[in-house]
Structure 1
Amino acid sequence: MKKLLPALLLGAACFAAGAFVARPTAPDEITVPMLRTAQQLFGLNFSDAQLDSTRRNLSGYRDSYEALRKVALPNSVAPAVGFDPRPLRLRQAQLSDGGSAGRLPEPGKVKLPANRDDLAFYTVRQLGELLRFKLITSEDLTRFCLTRLKKYDPQLHCVITLTEDLAYQQARQADAEIQAGKYRGPLHGIPFGVKDLFSAKGYKTTWGSGPFKEQILDEDAAVVERLRAAGAVLCAKLTLGELAQGDVWFGGKTRTPWDVAKGSSGSSAGSASAVAAGLLPFAIGTETLGSIISPSTACGITGLRPTYGRVSRAGAMALSWTMDKAGPLARSAEDCAIVLAALTAAGPDARDPATMLAPNRFEYAFGTSVKKLRVGYIKKAFDQDYPTKANDLATLEVLRKLGVELVPLELPALSPGMLRFILTAEGAAAFDDLTRSGRDGQMVLQNRSAWPNTFRSSRFIPAVEYLQAQRVRSLLIEQMDAQLKGFDCYIAPTFSASLVLTNLTGHPAMALPNGLTAAGLPTTITFMGQLYEEGKLLALAKAYQDATSFDEKHPPLQ
């Protein structure tokens, strides 16, 4: 021991003097023995088979670390992470009472269809007018939706729990209020569903995952509360891919009604499928990295991902605190606006500090002339060859005919792809107990890309690298703001770099149906807006949908 001590002290001295430096040669291959040793530092005990899967992800992470280290980061750049030291009591003291959401355009006269089944594809606005003028009752409309949910769910696998008793109770209350002249607005008496990561008292909140399929949370999520205040009727808790990934959940795979042999994409899989099939007029989903935009595309509906912090996530499963967002999936931009107005009418929510960041509440801007909007388009993206290019170019031509001047726009130089591990690091933290307890083995998917392996891999992301990524995210936010200066909105192909970019910067985005493929499957294009400027974004989207009929198409259900 006496002979060993000087050697240890010498090693410590060399380390302190700066002997621990980055090697100029290529890094060693990541091996299972290496990870077996490393996990001991963190008190982990993954099997060799699990570590073998993990090491492949870690090689990709290491490439991201190398890319991040090439970005200049002066000390003045802070991480893009919010922190609010006020306790809930003090945050509540600062809440406002909400206010008016502006004005909707006149709806025109709406009649009951000759074929009752056609009600399935009426918009929220049309159904609202039927209810307002007492041409149909909420109870009848609710029964109609519940019947369709029961009829088509065996094909689509889009429902986890029907909230039937609650739905009839709320529908009868809505009818009584409307009959008494106490009309709450365009959502009064309208059936809807929520992605089953939002809690609802008295019902299971499964998060789509086997380990949580019996979970009951004794609270209503903020979106459930606020839609109830608007008079809407909760009919179902809808499927999501396990823990908000993909379209596979503990009960199977959710299908798109356009082709039931195909999945509806994820993770707001059930919300998109149910709306597209005419089972519900609208539903609420969430997005962290594409979970509203992607299923809206697979199912051919209109999906709105609002600005980060615009809609309260209280009572929702957290996957990534700095990236999760909640928003509506519906038939049209106008419907999305109606739902967003209800979700934000009460103002900020002290339970979700991100809502405290919004400088104003959402207001309709449908009176805006789209000819006066400055609209960009990512020319480089549209110039590339990709499967839906013809439909996308046709969309740009429609906008030009409406008098919209499309200005070529470039995205920030920083690549958003190297920041994707922010999500997985936060997700691994959110489900730390699931991973360490081994209950992740109860999840359906166990491949290298599924959450169990991703969460294990993310345990090896150094805290320093996570914070460096958040600092680079701050630079990305500033670059995005500079690029969008003077623009009201911009347009990009749906599955372009903008999807990851805007999820990191928090900008709002909409997926709008714009045609069909040769195989008869729907396509979408994506409109993006400035932070907290959903009003202008929705005005542009409505103008496009008024000039086209893609949002009125629906699948031929068997």
Structure 2
Amino acid sequence: MGKIGTYAILGITAFTTGAFVSKLADDKITAGILRNAQQVIGLQFNDAQLDSATTNLTEFRKSYQSIRQQPLTNDVAPALQFNPIPVGFRFEEKREKFEVERKKGIKLPQNRDDLAFYTVPQLAELLRTKQISSEELTKFFLARLKQHGPTLQCVTSLTEELALEQARRADQEIKAGKYKGILHGIPYGVKDLLATKGYKTTWGSVPYKDQQLNLDATVVERLEQAGAVLVAKLTLGELAMGDVWYGGKTRSPWDITKGSSGSSAGSAAAVAAGLLPFAIGTETLGSIVSPSTACGTTGLRPTYGRVSRHGAMALSWSMDKIGPIARSAEDCAIVFNAIHGTDGKDLTVVDASFNYNKNINPKKLRVGYLHKDFDRDYPFKDNDKATLEALRQAGIELVPIELPNLPARDLTLTISVEGATAFDELTRSGRDSLMVQQHKNAWPNIFRAARFVTAVEYLQAQRVRTLIIQQMHEKLKGIDVYISPSFAGSNLVMTNLTGHPCVVLPNGFQKNGMPTTITFMGQLYGEANVLALAKLYQDLTNFDEQHPPMALSNAKLK
């Protein structure tokens, strides 16, 4: 999750927090205690009303204690499922064959280092035509990870033994004519909150840095089935916030004195630096968009409920999403095609079609843009204006639109409450003191503060979320894709709450040499249209082909 705003959100009486329950479990709850506690929730009851509530609250406290005796690991989801589908929404009924244009005439470069920035289709053609083996390609990227990974601080574990085994198997299959498709033999990495059997899954956090989970996440399984080769577990900000983890701070390859942002910090940094062709990231509130911006990569945040989260660390059950970070929109489409769909384990995933192919004419898409956000003054406004102009010159008519006027930012308490629930044991055990970040807006304090949010206020927030979902549906009628500045926090927050997909893609540079991005948003389950328009823009420009200077092995942090 990319940190946005302040998470000091309060709302329940002190005696229900885990830190105090063990000490106060036998203390009597009185009207006097409640009189003070009600100031936290912003309500005012008289003494008689408070006294009448003490009996029920005493029983509730006993229930809390009983519930806490039940072992609940992070993978146990609540018996409540978020549904992003508004009233009146209709799924695309047709199902077409996934298709990308095959790259013909691709040859091995004279300078093998150039392979570091080849796209997935280019590498796939080299593998398919047996100009290079998967084992050779895997060793090439492992060498780059070993050379530059320590400088960027983007790797938690190399999965070298597994990678070489998978690569050799891919070579045997390709040689035998059992070609699985465009990802067969392609190396990749995953954010280290996805379980991988036989390797640590650290969640970027000190209390879990030696954790091993005896399973493969569904995403990892599906990429293996597609023939891809897992070469690395990549860093994430501790428990999916920011770019600081137990081993340090992940760096942007454009300027290693700067962080890569997060929380998919290692995924974006490794792809941008040419250490991997693609990687898997996750987003709850900006964790694909933000590091893609800091590192100049292309990232796809799919619709909520598109990709199974089985085997992934839970932070917010109603907001977590998994998607690829890659060199181009088409690379993201290829990876997404392999990982989306139901698995019978994550029950929020729906069986919706993904019809990305040459039948989509992006020039016929109805495209909107958030005109008020683009009219604001901000440092890289010229880059965004140039993007809009490039699309207009290509024949795209841009229609001004606005987002619903509802308090989306206030609903970010959802993450605080759900995160505190997911890591309840961490808080109550006191092991949160082991975490690297301990400032007031770090997870340990956010989780503690969330204990004071009442169930009533949490559910009221979800009711407002329903209004946002429905109003968003109305605002986007007649629109296939709309465009937003990547900095626009209102759009980022609102669409993470509604579950809408986006593609974030590079569109220039700041004066300090750091990359900038712009965000293409889609209708629910409309990834194909968003990716098609993003590909059109990338065909018109070369920002996705710009790469950071790679004199990293001798670089020194200042």
Scaled by the length of structure 1, the TM-score of the pair is 0.83
Contact 1:366 1:535 in 2 (8 A): no
Contact 2:370 2:400 in 1 (8 A): yes
Q: Which residue of 1 aligns with 2:15?
A: 40
SS in 2 for 1:184: coil
Distance 1:132 1:438, change over 3 A: same
For residue 509 of structure 2, the aligned residue among 503, 512, 516 is 516
Contact 1:365 1:536 in 2 (8 A): no
Counterpart residue identity of residue 197, structure 1:
L
1:167-216: CA deviations, max 9, x gaps? 00000000000011110000000000000000000000000000000100
User: What's the CA shift for 1:219?
Assistant: 0.2
Counterpart residue identity of residue 248, structure 2:
G
1:392-426: CA deviations, max 9, x gaps? 00000000011110000011111211101011100
Specify every segment of 5 or more residues in structure 2 that has no aligned partner in the other structure, as ranges.
1-7, 23-36, 43-77, 83-94, 552-558
For residues 100 and 190 of structure 1, the distance between their equivalents in structure 2, rounded to whole angstroms, comes to 25
For residues 214 and 200 of structure 2, the distance between their equivalents in structure 1, rounded to whole angstroms, comes to 9
Specify every segment of 5 or more residues in structure 1 that has no aligned partner in the other structure, as ranges.
1-30, 48-57, 64-80, 86-98
For residue 550 of structure 1, the aligned residue among 543, 547, 555 is 543
- Within a 5 Å distance, the mapping from 1:346-357 to structure 2 comes to 347-355=341-349, 357=350
Counterpart residue identity of residue 475, structure 1:
L
Q: Which residue of 1 aligns with 2:401?
A: 409
For residue 113 of structure 1, the aligned residue among 106, 109, 123 is 109
- Does residue 1:104 correspond to 2:100, yes or no? yes
- Within a 5 Å distance, the mapping from 1:187-336 to structure 2 comes to 187-336=183-332
Contact 2:18 2:427 in 1 (8 A): no
SS in 2 for 1:260: strand
Contact 2:268 2:295 in 1 (8 A): yes
User: What's the CA shift for 1:62?
Assistant: 6.6
Q: Which residue of 2 aligns with 1:122?
A: 118
1:25-44: CA deviations, max 9, x gaps? xxxxxx9xx99x94224453
Distance 1:216 1:431, change over 3 A: same
Relative contact order, higher structure (CA 8 A, sep 6+): 2
For residues 38 and 100 of structure 1, the distance between their equivalents in structure 2, rounded to whole angstroms, comes to 54
- Within a 5 Å distance, the mapping from 1:362-511 to structure 2 comes to 362-496=354-488, 497-511=490-504
Counterpart residue identity of residue 118, structure 1:
D
SS in 2 for 1:396: helix
For residue 136 of structure 2, the aligned residue among 140, 146, 167 is 140
Contact 2:97 2:357 in 1 (8 A): no
Q: Which residue of 2 aligns with 1:525?
A: 518
SS in 2 for 1:490: strand
How much is the aligned-residue C-alpha RMSD, in angstroms?
Answer: 2.2
- Within a 5 Å distance, the mapping from 1:170-189 to structure 2 comes to 170-189=166-185
Contact 1:101 1:361 in 2 (8 A): no
Distance 1:82 1:537, change over 3 A: farther
For residues 163 and 438 of structure 1, the distance between their equivalents in structure 2, rounded to whole angstroms, comes to 32
Q: Which residue of 1 aligns with 2:56?
A: none
Contact 2:16 2:451 in 1 (8 A): no
For residues 109 and 200 of structure 1, the distance between their equivalents in structure 2, rounded to whole angstroms, comes to 36
Distance 1:279 1:376, change over 3 A: same
For residues 310 and 296 of structure 1, the distance between their equivalents in structure 2, rounded to whole angstroms, comes to 20
Counterpart residue identity of residue 372, structure 1:
K
- Within a 5 Å distance, the mapping from 1:336-347 to structure 2 comes to 336-344=332-340, 347=341
Percent identity reads 64
Scaled by the length of structure 2, the TM-score of the pair is 0.83
User: What's the CA shift for 1:367?
Assistant: 2.8
Q: Which residue of 2 aligns with 1:153?
A: 149
Contact 1:371 1:404 in 2 (8 A): yes
How many pairs does the alignment contain?
A: 481
For residue 168 of structure 1, the aligned residue among 148, 152, 164 is 164
